[in-house]
Structure formats: structure tokens, C-alpha cells
Structure 1
Amino acid sequence: MTRLTHEHQHYDTIVIGAGVAGLACASRLLQYAKYQRPGNLLVLEARHRIGGRVNAVHVNGSHNPPVRLDEGANWIHGIGTGEKPNPLMSILPHKRYRELAGAVVFKAPEASAAPSHEGDVSRAIVPEIAGPLLGGVFGLLDELHKVAPASDPAAAKETTLLHSIGASDTLTKIEAQLPDQYHRTLRLMPQFVENMEAGPLAASSAEHEKGRAGLGLLEFAIDDFEGEQVFLQDGYSAIVDELAKDLVNSDQIKLGCEVRTIHHDESNVNVVETMSGRFTADRIVCTLPLGVLQHRLSQSGHEVPLFKSPLPTRITKAIDSLGFGTLDKIFLVYDKAWWLEEPYASRYSDKVVNLMESEATSSPDGGQAVPTAPDSFMGFTEELPGLIVGPDGKVEAGSRLLSCINLHALTGYFVLSTFVSCSNAVRVESMSDAEAGGIVHRALTQWLGVEPPKASAVHVTRWAQDEYSRGSYSHMIAGVSMTEHRETFQTPIVNALGAEVRFAGEHTSRNHFATVHGALISGYREADAILASMGPS
């Protein structure tokens, strides 16, 4: 890969963005002889690296060698079946992955409870209670995945997830089986949806004004891949490198090349202007994240609008109608796995809830991987605003659910990774790393009833502040977003003289949005459409 020098050159196809969608599109085109000839294919990337919202950084603790922290994607959401495999699974057959095998759930503080202090008893919940609590959340998600596709699309567009949760009797049935002291914890658990979807359930969680209506039921009206939801233990970087390998070898990716302006209806070619050069192309495939498109749609959002010529109304409406939310991570890096030692381990060791049918997880080589500690800790903090979902779907203010992934159990690194989303992600991004880490540290102290060691390093992702992403991934806004808004991106813009502009990215996928495989499939989709338009030759 080279950094761009000032130049002006014509290409058959220019792909804008070297994230998964852009790399998928360009790598598929490169399989064909035409695109192997010089001057026919170019990928422009504003960052000085490839991968987009897939990125790994290496951080030092005070005594640790550098540890790998995956800032973006970590999961394969459905590995698929033999009849319908997830295409990610074939890129690196030797990848290491597994499902989360166990969790510890901590009881939420009562509304009037005084803050916990060191020496208090652990809030860890016994499996007989924690199991139904988690089962209620996952059961609710399963129910939404069944209700949404069966609903009338027009009605589902107007229906909030909060309404659907309130109309469901899943939580109500479980609530009737639980002691009263756990009802509050149960009603706080639906906040888990906000971390999954990077979208707000209610106005209090929204990061953008147009998202104040909250997530819509259409968020779950999809036909995604079946199979296990697995954690990719070595991250996505190797998959990105595999996609980019031939493009890198043929020097067709230009790094540090931010596209300033695209002219798409003035001639028989598109004109792409960058700070380092000017290019023309018969066709452009724009894979920029939806958050960037929204920010650069007009002069008011950016000093120079991305598209010099007006886009068709169907495209601008789609860009404006979909939600784009943020999911950040607060990484606490330690010098050892203190949670395996006393006085900490005994405070939760008999409270682990199995999240799988058996205690062992099948690994790709056919062996068995048994975790020595929970893969996740779930509890609450009163330092960030949360919400309680009542039986009628109405919300009240409450504690914020924090999900801490134990990366030691999954990757071998002494790291706890905590998710924050939506308005709380924006709030955390305004803090220093130390301030954000302090929230998690104090939460762990309250959960366990004893203060754990201080982290030797803290690293916070800041996807909302990242000018080349402006968030994490897309979602459906109740009363605003429709499935058609995603599908309209799949019809290219073709001017009177034949110049094309195409779009790819997770936000353009009808069934796989908000996923890495959705970005991958969208890139393949546009490459295949380009090749099909060229005929048998």
C-alpha cells in the first residue's frame, strides 16, 4: 500500500473506503482479468490503515507485554448452517472462536439504597435466580425475532421496541416466578438491547435528535444467519488482511487519501477530488459509513459537501432516515487475572450461570474448551443513566447495565472490556480514559463488595468522535426508518452519460445490517453487479 502523491489518473472503478465492504468489493473485482490490468481499479482510504471499523491496538500495562485490544468488531453473529453458511467462516478456516460459556449477574441496587462500601457482601446472584433473569432477556429477543418478521411492515415501522417489550408476557411470566427483591433487576435487563443494537430504547438514551423515538420493531424483521453467536478470539484483523492481500500486493490501495468531493453528473465519468490528487472513473463504489454520509450530506455538516452534485431524493432520504449509533468499549488492562484469586474469586465462583447447553464449547479442531472463569460479568452502575422497562412498556430512570467481557478467558490477555452505548457512549467519550475507567472500577467494587486492584492501563474507544466513522453501526428508528431505505442503496445512480455511483456497507443490507458479514456481503453484491453489467466477457 502506498500513500498518494499528487496525480490525476482515470480508472474504470474507484472504491472509496478500505473497510470490509470496500475490500470485499475490490478483492472480488480483482479476481477478473480486466481489473488485474493497471489503471482499472483503485481503492482510496482516508485513514493510514485498512479495516475501517475493524481495528486492533496494542497497549502496555505497567508490567505486561503489549496486549491486543480489538476496538471494533469482535463477534460473528450467526456462523450459519451447511445450507446457508456465513461467508465469513470460509475466509480463514483456521480462525479461533467460541460462544460465551458463563456469566455472573449482580443484583441491581434498590432505588433508595445507599452506595456500597468496601467490605460489603457480594451482589452476585445465585444461579437459580440469575438463570431466569438472563433467560428472560434472551427469551425476549427470540420472541422479537419471531414477532417482527410476521408483522405488517407499515405497522412495524411505527412500533417501538419498547411497545413490543411491554406487550410481551415473557418478562411478566418470569417476574411472577422471582422473589420481589429481583423484580427491579429483571426490569433493568432489557437495556442489554441497547448494547446489542447501538440504538436507543427511549429518548433518554438517544444520542441524536431524530433518534428520540427509539428503536423500531423493524430492527428485528430480518432473515439473518442461524447458528452460534461466537466471539472471534484473535479479532478480525486477520480477516481484513486476507481480504486485502492481493490488493496490497498489486498496490491498488492508496492510504491517507481522504475524498473531499465527488462530481457525478457532469460528464460521462465521475470526478473524485482529494487533497492529494484528482481522479476520474467510469464508476464509483462508495463504502463510507452511514455516519460519515450523514455528516457530509450538506454544507452544514462539513466544510465541503461530499457530493458536489445533488444526490437523488431517494438516496438523501435513505441517508437521513436510518439511525447510526455508537457502541464503545472501556478496556481495563491488568497485570494479572485478579478475579481468579482471593478475596475475589469466592465472591462469585458459585454464582456462575452457564449460557450454553453444556459446560464445554467445541473448538474448531474438535477439542473441548472449558472456561476457568466466567466469560462475562453483568451488573449496574448509578454513575450512568439507565432505564427500567415496566410491564406496559413505559420507562423510568434507573441504573445503567454494564456488560464486562472477560478477555482473559477468551484471548489470554488480562483485560476486562466493558460496553457503553448510545448517549452514554457519547458521555464517556467526553471523559478522560482514567475517568471512564474509574466508573467501571467503582462498579466492580460495589458488585464484589471489595475493591479490586487498579488497572495498569485504561483504553477507551471513541467511535462517535472518529471523523471517518462517526459512530459504530446502523439501526432502525421507530416511525422513521423503513426496510426500503436500505434497499434503495442497492440501485446505482447512473447519469445521462452512463457514469455510475454505487453504495455498499452494512447500512445497505436488508437482512444483515450492523454486522461485519453484512458489510462483506454488500461489497460482494456490488462487485457482482458490476461484473454482470459487463456481460460474459
Structure 2
Amino acid sequence: MAAATRIVDYDTIIIGAGMSGLACASRLLQHAHYKQKGRLLVLEARDRIGGRIGSVNVNGNRLDTGANWIHGVGTPEKRNPLMDILPHKKYRELGGRVAFRHPGSEREKAAIASEQDVPEDSEWVRIEAEPSTQKHDTPLHEASGDLVIPGEVAGTLTGSLWGLIGSLHELAEMTPAAEAKRTTMLQAITRSRALQDTFDSIPEEYHRTVSCTPQFIENMEAAPLTAQSAEHPQGQAGMSLLEFALDDFEGDQVFLQDGYTAIVDEVAKELMSAGVIQTGKEVKQIRWDTDPVEVETTSGTCTANQVICSLPLGVLQHHQRQVPTATPLFSPSLPSEKQAAIENLGFGTLDKIFLVYSTPWWTEKPYLSILKKGIATPPPDSNSDPTDDTQSLNTALDSFSGFTAELPGLAINRNGTTTPDLSSLSLINLHALTGHPVLSCFVSCANAARVEHMTDEQAGGMLHRALTSWLGCEPPGPEAVHVTRWARDEFSRGSYSHMITGLSEVGHRVEFQRPVVGGEGGEVLRFAGEHTSRNHFATVHGALLSGWREADAILEKLDAR
């Protein structure tokens, strides 16, 4: 009897049309083999491409909900590959920053508005502070004074923060991997001479501000400094020093003024023309021990000789933790080494709260005069009238930072102890960067989870009260608020990966680079995504490079036949 004919729909199926999946597919499509119809398919569960890169339009303003930065443009010898995609793209490093000091014990009370201070018909809904329950009797519009740190001090504080981060990278490079794995980032910070130098260089009245400044690292890495805010289900300590033990691209950290969506479109351009991307196709199961591999979607099953899975780590973790109560994503279960890699890496959340205004009130009086004295970096040279305060501020002021008592934070004291404190907030002035009258606030880790459970109006109200307390007078309220909710997004379940103290190893990332071998001995399942990158995890370029890596491995075997 003749053997049954194998029915193979595609040579290669890529699951996920984020940056890594698109990069892999576009690389494959350059080869003559994949230019043939029916060779390649990209399946995407969303109704759009881009994954954790995306944007929304609110009141005529483009808001980039996901990635916004190029983390290291590189050097002439080692150039970030993103710099060669759409070379005409607009980007620049952030400049001027206004920092607001820690309010101190007396001002903490004035930072929280009581329920009777907010009119019943107000859109600004009261958010109870955590962990503090103190209230005050001063209406928002009667707050006096401001918390602006003088520009010279703010500049020193900003420089010291980046000095601390640089010292942590140096420490990570010099520390053996096994020791770095056991060392929490919090321990590394408390041992750092850079933090002590900051206390020495800043007037004592700003020391509480200095103590809370390392919270910025949580926002940057989307990873907790302490066990109490860790997102891992077993409650392990926060990120480890291994987070900074990498060889990433050097150069400026720059903000993409037009966002990443144009880069996504460029990478996907030929794929879209070839019709190989199908959106709205959620993958329910990958049966990788069959010949060919079977990929079951919400609209049917298709087969392929090999599959590249570019799903986010958060999605992989969710499915792995659902077994055996739900249909497993992989059948049979992945090899134990892959399961360990999925479970032992961290996957954190970084969200944005957008406040959309009709006009950029921070460039107008009386707010202009308050902010001018705190600009940490002077405006760059330009042809503008130096007496034009509005133009100068708009050019220089790229960000605000301050504190709120409505979210919990952490202070690292001069003696190395840690205590609960106010939460640090960072806001980006999108008007200076994109022309839109919008402030964008970052929240991460456990605080991101708190904000995701608020309504947009509640989150906006919290920021409005914070701005009022920082300035000492109430600014106009936003016309609209938009909150990203990446942890609650079923197709991402977070933002990007990190290293958990005592659990995560570099080997877990490398493990993803080893293909899964099927029953017939062929390499049938590969993985791509930022979480699979040894040195570029948690970045868009890490995702891009991982996609190219897997495509190159496939093409090398193809050409060797």
C-alpha cells in the first residue's frame, strides 16, 4: 500500500506580527524560495500588525501606546540596525527637565485631596492613597507655593541619576554571573558609591528626593526593585544585577518623534504586498510532534514544515500556567528546558497615562514662570528670540518628575535602609517632541497594575492632583485621558522581560535560541522575540535582531540542501 500523502500548506508559519515576527518574515521573503506562493504565512491575533508597538488617535492627537525609544543609536563601528530603517526618521535625545522635590511630611498632607474637596459632579474621581490615609482641609485651588527644584540642583540630580545607572552597569560587568544572579538591584544600589556621592552633592533639604530617585530604574526596566512589588507569582525578589550585565548598543537614548509605527510599516511593506500576513487569527494550539506541524487557529487549522513562535513571554507564561485546566498552547508540552526558560524570566509592565489638553498650558503664564526656574538643561542654540519665554521653554522642557502619595513607592536612605514612601512619577512633554498638547506619564510594576484597574478618569484625576500639588496652583484639566493597559491585554500580558533575582539566568534567554526537534528529527519549532535576546532584551532592536537570527538559521539550512 502506498504511503499517505503529506499535506503541507506552508513551508514556514510565523506566529505573531510584532517586530520580531515581521523581521523574520521579511528576511525570509528576500529569498527566492519564499517568494513562491504558499511558502510563508504570518498569523496575527490582533486586527493590526505591530504587537507592542502601536498608536491611537485621541482628539486628533497621535498617542504612541507602546515603544517610543531607540535605546542606544550605536557607534559607526557598531550601529543599531534600527537607524538604517527609514533613515529620514526624526529623533532626538531628551533635554530640559523640571524636577519637583519630595513634599516632606508637612507637604504630604497637602498632596492628597479629601473627598469633600472634589465636587460631586467633577470628572476628577477621588482615588484613595496607598498606603497613606491622611487627608487635609486645603482645597486644590488654594494650594500655596510650589515644589520646583532650582535648575542647578535639578541638573546635578539628573546627572547623578545617570551616573548611578552607569555605575550599576560597571558593577554588573565586573561581577561573576552566579553572584550577579543572587544580587538584587536594590542591594547593588545601596552599595553604590554613586548614590552616596549624590547625597554629598545635593543640599540636605533635597535628600528625601534623592532617596526616592532610584524608583526611576523600575520605570526604565519595567521591573520591581523589591520583593513586595514583584510580579512573579512566587513573590521572589525584584530584578537582579544581571539586568545590566549585557553588551548593548552604545550612544544616545533617543525619542522617536513620529513613533515606531512607520518603522513597522516599512519592515512589513513587502509582506503586505505579498499577502502573507493574516490578522484576526488567534492561534489556539501548536501540535509540533505531528508531521507536518499543525497550527490550530480560531478559524481553522493549517500545517507547516516549521513554525516560528514570536509570541510575547507574558503570553507564553500565561498559557504555561493555565495547564492542565485549559487547552495547552503547545502539544505535547515543550521540553523541560524551554518550560524553565519561560517560567524563570520576568515579564514586567510599563503603562502610560496620557493627559490630552486643548493647549499646552505649561508654556503659558502663570505656569511658565513657575517652571522656568527649574529647567535642568538650558535650551539649545536656535534662531528664536531669546526673550521669548514660551519658545525657550517649549524647546527646552521635555519632561517633568515629581511625587504622588496616591501610589506607593520606596525610599533608599543614606544609611542603606529602605522605607515605604511616595511614588515617583515621570511625565514626558509630548508638545515639545511631537507637537501634540499632551503629557505622558509612566507607571510600572505593581503601580501599573493599580492604574490598570482605575478608569481613565480616575487615573487622570490622580495626575491632575499631583500636578496641582507640584505647581502650588491648579492647572487646566485635560480634555481627554487615555490609559494603556498592557498587563490586561490578552495578546501581550505585559510589556517586556527582565531578570529575576535568584531565578533568571542568561542561559534561559539562550535556551530560546535552540530549536525544538520533532519526532522525525527535524527542527520544527523556533522562538523569536525580545525575551530571546542575550544582550538586547526589552528593546525593539532586540526583537528585530531575534527575528533576523531565526530567519538566517532557516536560510542557512535551506541553502545547504
Task: Give TM-score scaled by structure 1 length.
Answer: 0.93
> What do you get for the CA RMSD once the two structures are aligned?
1.7
The 8 Å contact of residues 351 and 484 in structure 2, kept in 1 or not, is answered as: yes
SS in 2 for 1:385: strand
Q: Which amino acid aligns with 2:353?
A: I
- Segments of 5+ residues of structure 2 without an aligned counterpart are 1-6, 112-139, 383-391
**Equivalent residues in 2 for 1:499-510 (5 A)?**
499-510=523-534
Give CA-to-partner distance per residue, 1:117-157, whole Å, 9 cap, x none.
43411111012221222122110000011110221000000
Aligned twin of 1:288? 311
Corresponding position of 2:542: 518
The code of the aligned residue for 2:309 comes to: C
**Are 2:39 and 1:70 equivalent residues in the alignment?**
no
8 Å contact kept, 1:234–1:411? yes
Query: Following the alignment from structure 2 to structure 1, what is the Cα–Cα distance between the partners of residues 415 and 241?
Result: 16
Query: Residue deviations 1:295-349, cap 9 Å, x none?
Result: 0114448732110201111100000000000000000000001001111110111
1:340-351 aligned at under 5 Å gives the runs: 340-351=363-374
Question: In 2, distance between residues paired with 1:99 and 1:211?
Answer: 36
Q: Which structure 2 residues correspond to residues 241-256 of structure 1 after superposition, within 5 A?
A: 241-256=265-280
SS in 2 for 1:21: helix
Change (3 A) 1:133 1:370: closer
Contact between 1:207 and 1:426, CA under 8 Å: does it hold in 2? no
In the alignment, what sits opposite 2:37? 38
The 5 A counterparts of 1:81-230 are: 81-113=75-107, 114-116=109-111, 117=140, 118-210=142-234, 212-230=236-254
- 2:404 is the counterpart of 1:410: no
- AA aligned opposite 1:151: T
CA distance in 1 between counterparts of 2:229 and 2:322 reads 28
Select the residue among 490, 494, 515 that pairs with 2:517: 494
* Displacement of 1:391: 3.6
Counterpart contact for 1:105–1:130, Cα < 8 Å:
yes
- Count residues with an aligned counterpart: 515
Distance across 1 between alignment mates of 2:455 and 2:298: 32
The one-letter code matched in structure 2 to 1:489 is F
How many Å separate the matches in 2 of 1:370 and 1:31? 47
For residue 457 of structure 1, the aligned residue among 461, 466, 480 is 480
In the alignment, structure 1 residue 470 sits paired with structure 2 residue 493: yes
> 338, 345, 356: which is aligned to 2:361?
338
One-letter amino acid of the counterpart of residue 407, structure 1: L
Q: Give the 3-state SS of the residue equivalent to 2:395 in structure 1.
A: coil
Q: Which amino acid aligns with 1:470?
A: R
> Is contact 1:295–1:301 with CA below 8 Å preserved after alignment?
no
8 Å CA contact 2:457–2:481 kept in 1: the answer is yes
Instruction: Say if 1:269 and 1:499, in contact at 8 Å, map to a contact too.
Output: no
Larger gyration radius, structure 1 or structure 2: 2
Q: Could you tell me how far 1:370 is from its partner in structure 2? A: 9.1
Distance in structure 2 (CA, Å) of the matches to 1:95 and 1:178: 38
2 CA distance for matches of 1:242 and 1:152? 41
Cα distance in 1, alignment partners of residues 51 and 13 from structure 2: 17
CA–CA distance in structure 2, aligned partners of residues 302 and 69 of structure 1: 38
Displacement, 1:179? 2.2
CA contact (8 A) 1:268 1:499 kept: no
Deviates more, 1:279-288 or 1:205-214: 205-214
Q: How does 1:387-406 map to 2 (within 5 A)?
A: 387-391=410-414, 393-406=416-429
1: CA distance between counterparts of 2:326 and 2:146?
53
Cα distance, 1:35 vs structure 2: 0.3
Find the residue that maps to 1:466 and give its secondary structure.
coil
Cα distance, 1:10 vs. partner?
A: 1.4
Match of 1:383 in 2: 406
Distance in 1 (CA, whole Å) between partners of 2:154 and 2:421 is 19
Q: Deviations over 1:241-262 (max 9, x none)?
A: 0011111011100110000001
Q: Does 1:58 align with 2:52?
A: no
1:348-359 paired onto structure 2 within 5 Å:
348-354=371-377, 359=380
Does structure 2 conserve the Cα–Cα contact (< 8 Å) formed by 1:22 and 1:504? yes
Secondary structure, in 3 states, of the residue corresponding to 2:330? coil
Q: Distance in 1 between matches of 2:410 and 2:323?
A: 33
Q: Aligned in 2, Cα 1:160/1:260: closer, same or farther, shift over 3 Å? A: same
Whole-Å separation in 1 of the counterparts to 2:234 and 2:158: 31
Conserved in 1, the CA contact under 8 Å of 2:285 and 2:329? yes
SS at match of 1:303: coil
Structure 1 unaligned segments of length 5 or more: list them.
1-7, 61-65, 362-368
Asked if the contact 1:285–1:503 (Cα under 8 Å) also holds between the matched residues in 2, the reply is: yes
Change (3 A) 1:400 1:94: same
**Residue 433, structure 1, aligned to residue 456, structure 2:** yes
Q: Deviations over 1:382-424 (max 9, x none)?
A: 0000000124543211010100000000000000000000000
Distance of 1:73 and 1:67 partners within structure 2 = 17
CA distance in 2, matches of 1:424, 1:401: 11
- Residue 134 of structure 2 corresponds to none
Quote the offset at 1:112 in angstroms: 4.5
Distance 1:280 1:482 in 2: 34
Out of 371-380 and 466-475, give the one that drifted further.
371-380
Structure 1 stretch displaced more, 19-28 or 269-278: 269-278
CA deviation map 1:342-375 (0-9, x unaligned): 11110111210018xx8359xxxxxxx9953410
